[in-house]
Structure 1
Amino acid sequence: MARMPSAERRRQLVEAAIRAMTRDGVAKTTTRSICAEAGVSLSVFHYCFDSKQALLEAAIETITGNYVTRVMSAVEPGATLRETVRGALQTYWDHVTAHPGEHMLTYDITQYALREPGFEHLARAQYEQYVASAAALVEQVRGARGLEPRVPVEVLARYLAAAIDGLTLQFLVLGDGRAAADHLNLTADQLVRLIEG
């Protein structure tokens, strides 16, 4: 096995864990199966992570960070605020439809964390990260348009995180792309009203 910097090895293990958990579910994915997926020994895992819990935290951060990076890079001032907001939402939504398994994994991680003693804080951290991500998006949209929202950014962020979370889960369950598009349009309309005032 080639020597690799620990940060790169951690990334390799997190990516392997995301693949394994997406395929097999969180409860059935073991540290051994993650190591097999990554092609490393169990000692490498223990060198990089203290526990499966630490790996789950890194996986949540990675998944959410990837969404945020994708959406933030797509925020470009449109002709209107609504076009700007709807474009950002669409960037996220394109990932949902292209990678539904990864999005199902986020719900699996939440349920696992809520049921496993000692892991509950992971679910809270996961949803706080969603809110922080939504706040960063609202701030970027606000800055791009030079607007001061009518309601506090934190309130907007919690609303946006809850709306997107619900829309994503509904789409994963029902698979109705047309309804999802309608709901994204409604979400964009509501955000615009809350931002523009």
Structure 2
Amino acid sequence: MAHVSAVERRPQLVKAAIDLMARKGVAAGSTRAIAAELGVAQATVHYTFGTKEDLYRAVMDQLTEDLIARVERAAPEDAGFEETIAALAGALWRSAREESAGYHLLTELSLLALRTPRLSEARQAHYRGVVEVTARLVSEAAARARQELSRPPEAIARFFLAGFDGLTIQRLYAPDEAAEVLGLRSLVSATTALATGRLGLADVPTD
């Protein structure tokens, strides 16, 4: 059998891990099972990545890159501000609905990372990357529409993503298509209102 370098083997193992864990869950993603998925020796996984956590981190990076690329492709070049926010929301929602196995896997890995110190950096990098891309797209949409933002782009991005995360959790626990569509439309309207200064902010006791 021809020798395959670690550089070539790395994306193969990442794909095998994604395919396996998307079908069976993170708990099934042992290095032995991932190696069997690709048809290689278990030692190949450890030689290529070192530890299971290093492989999981690479999986999170790949899933995050795929999600960001999909959102960036959805951003229209000549639309108004609200239309752009709606397009981004639609692209993310389609990812959660049509690519649900991969989206759920990323959510599952993110939750695992909360209790796994070796994955903490990957979890933070994932969220930073999504926030940064969303904030950039918000800024670009505002510039095209000549819309002055009432809040920093990052704050608007975090507000939007917080609402979207809530909708996806509801879809997992209590699916209701009509309520989900209403929630998505409301999120786009609320994000637009926050960005343009039309959303009044209530005082909330937090101490």
| Structure 2 counterparts to residues 41-190 of structure 1, below 5 A | 41-77=41-77, 79-116=79-116, 118-190=118-190
- How far, CA to CA, are the matches of 2:142 and 2:15 in structure 1? 33
Contact kept, 8 Å, 2:80 with 2:141, in 1: the verdict is: no
Q: Which structure would you say has the larger Rg?
A: 2
Contact 1:75–1:140 under 8 Å retained in 2: no
- The one-letter code sitting in structure 1 at the alignment partner of 2:61 is E
Shift of residue 87, structure 1, vs aligned partner = 1.4
Instruction: Measure the CA separation in 2 of the matches of 1:144 and 1:47.
Output: 49
Stretch deviating more after TM superposition (124-133 or 11-20): 124-133
Deviates more, 1:157-166 or 1:77-86: 77-86
Structure 1 residue 136: Cα displacement:
3.3
Secondary structure of 1:63's partner?
helix
Find the residue that maps to 1:151 and give its secondary structure. coil
Residues 173, 137 of structure 1: alpha-carbon distance in 2 compared, 3 angstrom cutoff: farther
Task: Report deviation, 1:3.
Answer: 4.1
Gaps of 5+ in 1: none
Question: CA-atom RMSD, angstroms?
Answer: 2.3
Q: What's 1:196 paired with?
A: 196
Residue number in structure 1 paired with 2:23: 23
Number of aligned residues:
197
Query: What SS does structure 2 have at the residue aligned with 1:13?
Result: helix
DSSP 3-state at the match of 1:76:
coil
Q: Using the TM superposition, name which of 142-151 and 27-36 deviates more.
A: 142-151
Percent identical pairs in the alignment equals 33
In structure 1, C-alpha distance between the alignment counterparts of 2:99 and 2:7, rounded to whole Å: 25
Task: State the alpha-carbon separation in 2 of the partners of residues 110 and 141 from structure 1.
Answer: 29
Residues 44 and 189 of structure 1, relative CA distance in 2, 3 Å threshold: same
Which consecutive residues of structure 2, in runs of 5 or more, have no partner in the other structure?
Answer: 198-207
TM-score (norm. length: structure 1): 0.86
Residues 117, 80 of structure 1: alpha-carbon distance in 2 compared, 3 angstrom cutoff = closer
